[in-house]
Structure formats: structure tokens, C-alpha cells
Amino acid sequence: MITKTDYFEFSGIDLDIDFKKSSSDNPSRAVEIFINRIENWCMDYLKTYYFWDGETDDLEADELAYYKQGLLHQIDYVRRHGDISISQNKELPELAPNAKIQFRLAGLMNANYGRW
């Protein structure tokens, strides 16, 4: 759903350049893998904690635009802070505050399953 070009237009940061500093066993797909992991994590997060089936085809154009903005904010957050969802350090929230705002505007975080 999100491309490295989308992220570049959003942030001014070229992920290909950013990822040249990192080690990867698949350098030609490192950026694509990074973006896909974040997209999948966000979808799983929203499906786990909120009433959303993960179908983007059901979203209106403005809702889809908010969803994509949320993904871009989450990509930015993980790039800056690391993947907190797999970190033992839980001082920061897993979901970026700006992504949360966008997902709420998309109507994806308006109802939850309640306490577990």
C-alpha cells in the first residue's frame, strides 16, 4: 500500500539511502520488507484491538487517505525509535501517537473489544 516514494514525499527521507547503513541479507528488498512489516503490524494491531476486519477495499477515499497517513507516521516512528513491539524497553508506546490520530480519523479505532 505504501511505497518508498510515498515515504520520501511524506518525510523527505530516501529509505534506500537510510538502509545502506544497515546490514541485510536481502539488500535489494530491505526497504520493501521494512514497509511491509510495518503495514502488516498496523493491520494486525487494529484487527486485534478494534473492530476492523482489515479490508481496505471497504474504506471510503478519505478513510483510506487517513489510514495511509497513519502508516507513514508509523514508518517514521519505527525508523526513529526502532520496533518497540519487539523491544523489552516499553517506555514508548508501540503505536506512534500521530499514527493513532490518523487511524482514529479513518474510523478504525472508534470501538474496541474492551478489557481483556
Q: What is the pTM of this model?
A: 0.91
CA nearest to 1, candidates 50, 37, 27: 37
Summarize pLDDT for 22-57 with one digit per residue, the tens.
777 888 899 999 999 999 999 999 999 888 888 999
Q: How far is CA 7 from the centre of its chain?
A: 11
Using CA atoms, how far residue 101 sits from 12, 29, 87, 95, in Å, is 21, 30, 23, 10
d(CA 56, CA 95): 19
**pLDDT attached to residue 112:** 63
pLDDT digits (tens, 9 = 90+) for 72-108: 999 999 999 989 988 887 789 999 999 999 999 999 9
